[in-house]
Every structure is written in structure tokens, then in C-alpha cells.
């Protein structure tokens, strides 16, 4: 990307580093049982985890568009949105991502894809109708920053151990409860579940820790995209205003729109889920914090900092 004029945020940098270390520890915990079985099995497990995480990230654009009912659009269909995206890509030096639109009335937008060469940026009909052109440009700049930072790939890699632990936990729970089994098969399954109790407990811990670490990383990446996107337009106040309007729209969204948004909530500029326990269970930082950072950035730009 083009060089940033933003002063480094030491606190955010250290939090990102600490989260990256936690992600590495989660991966180590996920593959440790395989290494205990032998170095060959450990190497196979590590390679399989990395491969599946990359495959998951590469399929994210198609899955996200399907969930949102999005469709790619050409410059003839959406000349204004394409023009904004063209300007942003010229400023950032990025290859232009595909542009898609969704018919959802709730204002929101997301970027998906494993990197700049395979990315797609999608906006909803509600976003285009509720935001003014400068605010739409600010949102597209935020999503362009996600593309530049390969945040979808980073998120997929970070969340993959927790996902695997969750799948194992579901399978183990089915064993120990004898779900959908009868007679001797039920007794055998429950006995196997008891024998695997230590692994089930470890999977539960890994699932919880992996989920929290993935959400923490997502919140940090959102703050980075806010700053980078605001610098692309040079108008942080436009993004702050857009975030407020989108948050209001999400709060007043219909059940059908929320149902469509939830599978891709972590990718959206404003999440469709609650803040959870003091934000720990949220994929996005609180709106107030995002606005405060954007206000500080606006002041620095105005003062020539």
C-alpha cells in the first residue's frame, strides 16, 4: 500500500503482537497430540492444518456472497461505485478487487478473499441508500484496507484450530451421550466417549481459547483497517459518520436481514452480533472506541502530524 502518514500506535502494535503469539500457542496446542504420536504424524497434522486454513480463506469470497445474496456488478451497472474503487486502488497501488452488490436493506459492506488478487468487496442496497457519497467512499476504503492487509487469510489461519476443536467436541459429545445410537452401539459409543474424556476436555479448552484469540485478532484488524482506510481518503470523519449510520441500521434491521448478515458478521464493517461479555465475544471493537481513534487521527491530519 501507499505509505501511511499515521503515527504508529504502540499500544495496538503490542496487542497485535501478543495476539499473534497466542495464535501460535493455540496452533501448537492443536498439533501437540499428533507430535506425541510421532514426528511424522505431527508434521502431517501441521501441514494439514495450514492447508485447510488456506483453502477456507480462498473459499470465503464465494461463501460470503452466497450468504448475503450478493452478485458481481460491472462498471456499466454501477459506474459510481466502480469509480470510487478505481480511485482507491490507484491511491493504494492495489489491483482492483471485484465489486458486488447485495439487495439487503440493512446498511453494511464486507471484503472477502485470501489476497488482493482474489478479493471481492460487497456493499448492500441499504448502504447505498443511507450513506452519502463521501461516507460510501470511506467504507470502501476501509474494505480496501482489509484486502491490502490480507485480513481474511489472517483470520482464517487464526480461527482454524478453534474450528477443528469445535468439530471434535461435537463428535465427542455425540459419543459420550450416545446420540442417535441404540442398544449395544449406544453403550460402546458412551464407553469410547469416556475413554476420550481427556481429549474432549482439551478440545473444549482449545475451542474456548481459540475462539477468544480469533475474536481479539479480528478486533485489532478492524482498528487497523479504520486507520488505513481513513488515510486513503484523508477524511477520518467520513468513516466515523458512516460507522454511526451503519450501526443504527444494523440495530433496526429486520430478522431476515440479520439472518443473512450473521454468517459474514466478522467480515462486515459493522458486526451483526452483540458486544458480548465486555466485548470479548465480539468480532468488532465498540463503536465509541472506533470513533475516538478516528477523531484523534483527524486531529493529527489537521495539525500536520
The catalytic residue positions are 143
* Kind and range of the H or E run holding 100: strand 98-102
Is residue 111 within 8 Å of residue 97, measured between CB atoms? Answer: yes
Q: Which three cell numbers stand for residue 208?
A: 474456548
Among the listed residues 124, 138, 62, 63, the one whose alpha carbon sits nearest the alpha carbon of residue 272: 124
Count of CB atoms situated within 10 Å of the CB of 188:
13
Q: Could you give the CA distance from residue 44 to residue 256 in angstroms, rounded to a whole number?
A: 42
Task: Classify strands 98-102 and 120-124 as parallel, antiparallel or unpaired.
Answer: parallel
Q: Which of 12, 7, 2, 8 is nearest to 219 (CA)?
A: 12
Angle (deg, nearest 10), helices 151-177 and 10-36: 40
C-alpha atoms less than 13 angstroms from C-alpha of 93 in its C-beta half-sphere: 5
What are 43's three cell numbers? 508434521
Alpha carbon distance 246, 249 (integer Å): 5
Beta bridge partners of 100: 72, 122
Question: And the C-alpha cell for 214?
Answer: 480469533
Q: How far apart are CA 263 and CA 282, in angstroms?
A: 14
Residue 189 neighbours by CB under 8 Å, 6+ apart: 174, 175, 176, 178, 181
Amino acid at each position: 500500500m501507499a505509505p501511511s502518514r499515521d503515527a504508529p500506535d504502540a499500544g495496538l502494535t503490542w496487542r497485535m503482537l501478543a495476539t499473534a503469539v497466542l495464535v501460535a500457542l493455540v496452533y501448537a496446542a492443536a498439533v501437540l497430540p499428533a507430535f506425541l504420536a510421532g514426528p511424522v504424524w505431527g508434521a502431517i497434522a501441521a501441514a494439514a492444518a495450514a492447508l485447510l486454513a488456506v483453502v477456507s480463506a480462498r473459499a470465503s469470497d464465494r461463501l460470503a456472497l452466497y450468504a448475503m445474496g450478493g452478485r458481481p456488478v460491472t462498471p456499466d451497472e454501477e459506474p459510481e461505485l466502480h469509480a470510487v474503487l478505481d480511485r482507491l486502488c490507484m491511491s493504494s497501488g492495489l489491483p482492483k478487487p471485484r465489486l458486488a452488490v447485495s439487495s439487503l436493506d440493512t446498511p453494511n459492506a464486507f471484503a472477502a478473499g485470501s489476497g488482493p488478487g482474489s478479493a471481492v468487496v460487497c456493499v448492500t442496497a441499504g448502504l447505498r441508500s443511507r450513506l452519502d457519497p463521501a461516507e460510501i467512499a470511506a467504507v470502501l476504503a476501509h474494505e480496501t484496507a482489509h484486502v491490502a492487509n490480507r485480513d481474511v487469510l489472517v483470520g482464517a489461519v487464526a480461527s482454524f484450530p478453534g474450528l477443528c476443536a469445535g468439530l471434535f467436541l461435537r463428535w465427542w459429545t455425540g459419543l459420550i451421550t450416545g446420540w442417535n445410537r441404540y442398544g449395544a452401539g449406544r453403550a460402546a459409543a458412551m464407553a469410547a466417549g469416556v475413554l476420550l474424556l481427556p481429549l474432549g476436555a482439551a478440545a473444549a479448552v482449545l475451542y474456548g481459547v481459540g475462539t477468544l484469540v480469533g475474536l481479539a485478532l479480528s478486533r485489532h484488524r478492524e482498528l487497523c483497517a479504520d486507520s488505513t482506510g481513513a488515510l486513503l481518503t484523508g477524511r477520518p470523519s467520513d468513516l466515523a459518520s458512516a460507522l454511526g449510520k451503519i450501526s443504527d441500521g444494523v440495530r433496526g434491521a429486520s430478522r431476515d436481514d440479520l439472518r443473512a448478515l450473521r454468517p459474514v458478521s466478522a467480515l462486515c464493517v459493522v458486526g451483526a452480533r452483540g458486544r458480548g461479555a465486555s466485548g470479548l465475544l465480539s468480532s468488532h471493537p465498540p463503536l465509541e472506541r472506533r470513533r475516538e481513534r478516528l477523531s484523534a487521527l483527524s486531529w493529527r491530519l489537521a495539525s500536520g502530524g
